[in-house]
Chains A and B, each alone.
Chain A
């Protein structure tokens, strides 16, 4: 089964960078993009992705709020993986509490993203601050 991925970030250039990285992996498909949390919720409803790659800081609705809404409201139940510039244990805890399955720091996304998507698509937790990538069941 292919892994269907939705990219959510307010910077189109970042979405493009994530897309080029993810589309290199056979069997994975980027099915859509959104630029804020509200647009993401709409796209999830329509596109039913398996994994949502979500930024934290975005206009209109930030990633944490969007993640909580996904857990509460969406019929589809995609796994959420945060890709953020906030390299902080506190923010990571907040993301996991909001229901995310993964957390990757943007500066290391090129190193960690593929492994993280692989893990969360199999419903495993993947968290990585700058110095300590960890995957667990």
Chain B
């Protein structure tokens, strides 16, 4: 029996690279590819893969919430999170979400095969940085991971987090309603509840919250020579 892997990343070029890497391994097959978290969940329910590899920074539904929803649906799913950052907070959230593997994208060519092998053998795989953090947590506080600040996310329901991500991505209530198959009025209600629960007063505040809590990710460009220049293309 081949080991069946589902890949979820919004960049086709990355999926091509990951496919090429994984399919070199005899006995493994990529059974499906998804370009965002919502598609990944649908495909996982349908294809029942042995391993799901999810990028953390996907549109519509990020990799952490995808992991949470997958494991809520079926705790037997084995998920590897691919990320561009190994900050304490992202590691903490990936572990909290139930990921059994955590691989930096920059090291994927080296670590991803080992991670899949580990999960195949019912073990977990984390980058050395995660091991250091977990160990430090045990040594300092006697539990798995030290927490400098409590995460804000649990105050929102699964649906509210989905709505938060889509609004922070710049979508209107109508667009969110269409994507989530809800009425615009329901989305507006979710939006009011989110703003009230988090004590936010504008969409700008919501975007800042989403970035700080890894609901959406941004990568800063290198310093441009003319950052104040108005550009018309």
Residue ranges of A at the interface with B (Cβ–Cβ < 8 Å): 10-21, 56-57, 62, 64, 83, 85-86, 88-94, 97, 106-107, 109-110, 113, 127, 129
Partner of A12 from B15, B109, B229, B232 at Cβ < 8 Å = B109
Given contacts A56-B221, A90-B231, A93-B233, contact A17 B16 (CB under 8 A): yes
Count residues on chain B whose CB falls below 8 Å from chain A CBs: 29
Q: How far is the CA of A91 from the CA of B109 in the complex (A)?
A: 28
A13 and B233 within 8 A (CB): no
Is A10's CB under 8 angstroms from B106's CB?
A: yes
Find out whether the CB atom of B224 lies under 8 angstroms from the CB atom of A90.
yes
User: A88 near B13 (CB under 8 angstroms)?
Assistant: no
Binding site for A on B (CB under 8 A): 10-21, 105-106, 108-110, 112, 219, 221-222, 224-227, 229, 231-233
Given known A-B contacts A20-B17, A92-B233, A85 and B219 have beta carbons under 8 A apart:
yes
Q: Which residue of A lies closest to B108 (CB)?
A: A13
| Residue in B19, B21, B109, B229 whose beta carbon sits within 8 Å of that of A90 in the complex | B229
Contact partners of A83 in chain B: CB under 8 A: 13
Contacts of A15 in B (CB 8 A): 17
Q: Can you list 25 pairs linking A and B with CB atoms under 8 Å apart?
A: A11-B14, A11-B17, A13-B14, A13-B21, A16-B20, A17-B13, A17-B16, A17-B18, A19-B20, A20-B16, A56-B221, A57-B219, A83-B13, A86-B221, A89-B231, A89-B232, A90-B229, A91-B224, A97-B225, A106-B11, A110-B12, A110-B16, A113-B13, A127-B233, A129-B233
A-B contact count (CB 8 A): 89
Distance in angstroms between the alpha carbons of A85 and B219 in the assembled complex: 9
What is the CA–CA distance of A58 and B229 in the complex, to the nearest angstrom? 24
Main secondary structure of the interface of A (DSSP, over half): helix
CB distance A17 to B219 under 8 Å? no
Say whether A109 contacts B13, CB under 8 Å.
yes
User: Judging by beta carbons under 8 Å apart, are A21 and B231 in contact?
Assistant: no
How long is the Cα–Cα vector from A64 to B223 in the complex, in angstroms?
A: 10
Contact B108 A12 (CB under 8 A): yes
Residues from chain A with Cβ under 8 Å of B224 in the complex: 90-91, 94
Q: Look across to chain A and name the residue whose beta carbon is closest to the beta carbon of B82.
A: A13
Across the interface, do B14 and A14 meet the contact criterion of CB distance under 8 Å?
yes
A78 to B: closest C-beta gap in Å:
21
Across the interface, do B17 and A94 meet the contact criterion of CB distance under 8 Å? no
Contact B225 A94, beta carbon cutoff 8 Å = yes
Known contacts A11-B106, A13-B108, A88-B221; A93 and B16 CB within 8 A of each other = no
How many whole Å from B169's CB to the nearest CB in chain A?
13
Q: Are B229 and A13 in contact (CB under 8 A)?
A: no
Asked whether A107 and B11 contact (CB < 8 A) given A20-B16, A64-B222, A91-B224, the answer is yes
Q: Is the beta-carbon distance between A56 and B222 smaller than 8 angstroms? A: yes
Known: A17-B14, A92-B233, A97-B225. 8 other contacts (CB 8 A): A11-B17, A11-B105, A12-B109, A13-B105, A16-B109, A17-B16, A93-B231, A109-B12
